[in-house]
Amino acid sequence: MGFKIYTEDFKHKVAEAYNSGMKISAVAEMFGVSTSAVSSWASGKKDKRLIFSVDQKKEFVKYRIQHNISHEDMAKQIGVVKDTFKNWENDYFYEVMEEIQRENRRFQKKERFGKANWTYVGTGGYFS
């Protein structure tokens, strides 16, 4: 189950209805929202939830894997709960690992004259 994003104007109307003296349950039913939403909007609290795209979540998971960072530390850096981050990793782990493997295959180490050269296989360019 997801959550809906309401406009500030809508939230303001809900708050006005509650602050005019209506019961919280009546306002919630009238606007089709929860009583906790009515209470929160009427008190002026800001929504602190962060919304990340799927690509951003995958990048966070990839970064954690590549840099060997703990789930807890990575979650703190992003500003989410550790369990939320673990859920992202469970959802995107295989896709991220395939991407990492594809990237690793693009670079191949070649020994020539006792010196290591890196060959970029993707477009045929060379690095040494």
Q: What gap in Å lies between CA 110 and CA 116, rounded to an integer?
A: 6
Report residue 1 as tokens: 């189950």
DSSP state of 89: H
Chain centroid offset of residue 112 CA:
44
* pTM, rounded to two decimals: 0.51
87 and 60 in a single domain? The answer is yes
Q: What is the pLDDT, as a whole number, of residue 44?
A: 75
Residue 86 located in a structural domain: yes
76 and 99 in a single domain? The answer is yes
Total tally of structural domains belonging to the chain: 2
Q: Which residues of the chain have pLDDT under 70?
A: 1-4, 45-50, 106-128
Residue 66 located in a structural domain: yes
Q: What is the pLDDT, as a whole number, of residue 1?
A: 42
Residue 35 located in a structural domain: yes
Residue 30 located in a structural domain: yes
Contact 56, 42 (CB under 8 A): no
> Which domain range does residue 104 map to?
50-128
35 and 64 in a single domain? The answer is no
Pairing of strands 115-120, 126-127: antiparallel
